Amino acid sequence: MRYTIREVSEKTNISAYVLRFYEKEGLLPHIHRSEGGIRYYTDEDMDLLGLISCLKKTGMQLREIKTFVELSEQGPETLRERCNILRQQQDNVRKQMAELQKSYEKVSHKLAYFSRLLSEYEGTGNP
């Protein structure tokens, strides 16, 4: 299937500007163009955009994502290296999740504490 840059932008919530930037930076190496020079994206491009967005959300830098994409272009000889990159990112995400869990617990504890104080305060007839 073919998608215009506008359709891709709407489907992915990635601006056309960012899509062009990704292409220029080599993150989207196979963007096709019509005879008139209009970009069009394929389902494979959409899959790659999904991966780029996912990796970006996990904190991976664009230069690291570009390296991953470049390795993917080289074929199965780079599978081990790509697995290592994803394994490292998985470890990073696991650590982030643990830190977020600690923060969540701290916020929850403080919310319970301040909610109790508020209830006591309101129970004394104060506005």
Segments making up each domain of the chain, as ranges: 1-60, 74-127
d(CA 48, CA 90) in angstroms, rounded, equals: 18
Looking at every residue in the chain, the average pLDDT score rounds to: 95
% pLDDT > 70, the chain: 98
57-76 confidence digits (pLDDT tens): 999 999 999 999 999 999 99
Could you say which DSSP state residue 6 is in? H
Confidence bin at 49 (pLDDT 50/70/90): very high
Any idea which of 75-84, 90-99, 114-123 has the lowest mean pLDDT?
A: 114-123
CATH architecture for residues 1-60: Orthogonal Bundle (1.10)
110-127 confidence digits (pLDDT tens): 999 999 999 999 987 776
Q: What is the DSSP string of 78-118?
A: GHHHHHHHHHHHHHHHHHHHHHHHHHHHHHHHHHHHHHHHH
